[in-house]
Amino acid sequence: MSGGSLDGPRLKLERARVHLEDLDRRVLSFSDMQAQHVVIHRNPETRKIAWVIAQAEEPPEDLGPVVGDCLHNLRSALDHLAWQLVLANGKKPGGKTEFPVWNTPEDFAAKSKDQVRGMDPGVVAVIEESQPYYVSRKSIGTTHQLNRIDKHRHFHLVVTSVESSMLMGWPDDPQLYYGPVGKGGAILLCGRIPDPEVPMEYKPHFDVAFADGPTAGWPVQFVLRGCMDAVLAVVRGLAKRAGLPGSVDHLIWPDGPLGV
């Protein structure tokens, strides 16, 4: 094989990584702000104590476009890859050349012919193995679905309580709440008021999640990280199979893929 390059897909993946890291920073800042609006309610009669949302902040509305930009670059990385795979086979890409994403083997067989025209048959076989009807490639389908949603409407995001950090010293097993939060909602209940002499600490943590769609309830960073891991794996595998020069290995997270 000759021709083709990994430059286009690499640049798209690098840009997606920039958006994802920007999102990480902004969600962390938002979480810290929301945590400042958590107050403690003590009931001296029942000796119960609760950590309650005094003011529920809305996620910044401009987070949605950042999510969309990340998804657009991930989906575009696959389409840039498809173009280069045709060139790598010594053929000329056409107006319908793109990376196919279909939900069933039957659809892939019937509808992907023009999309993969000019590619090496071995490469097409690897693309077929990357389809979301295989459980291990589900995030490829998620990337495709969310990118299509972003083309037509703004993402609806919600605040969720996702984790907490506690030290030893709690007198009862605390009841922690994980999920969407609103004003007046309790995120931690304790059966009786703790002994003031016992050192304790509780730090609520919040995240931003999709409110609806195929990933409803899932934190946006987790979903996008899974999408990027999946696209990166496909790009690396197909680049190796087609002999495309270049590398995207520098984009692999030190802790490896999430496996989602």
Mean pLDDT over 91-103 rounds to: 97
pLDDT average, residue stretch 107-126: 97
Using alpha carbons, select from 140, 200, 127 the residue that is nearest to residue 170. Answer: 200
* Distance from C-alpha of 75 to C-alpha of 26, rounded to nearest angstrom: 23
d(CA 117, CA 85): 10
More confidently predicted of 199 and 71: 71
Handedness of CA 25, 15, 140, 147 (dihedral sign): positive
Residue 174: alpha-carbon gap to chain centroid: 30
Rounded to two decimals, the pTM is: 0.87
pLDDT of residue 41: 80
The pLDDT assigned to 241 comes to 95
Q: Please, are residues 115 and 147 in contact by the beta-carbon 8 Å criterion? A: no
Q: Is residue 167 pLDDT above 60, yes or no?
A: no
How far apart are alpha carbons 167 and 199 in whole angstroms? 8
Per-residue pLDDT at 170 exceeds 60 = no
Predicted local confidence at residue 1, as pLDDT: 41
pLDDT of 30-74, one tens digit each? 988 888 888 878 777 777 777 788 888 889 999 999 999 999 999
Higher pLDDT pick, 159 / 140 = 140
pLDDT at residue 197, rounded to an integer? 57
In the chain, where are the structural domains located? 7-251
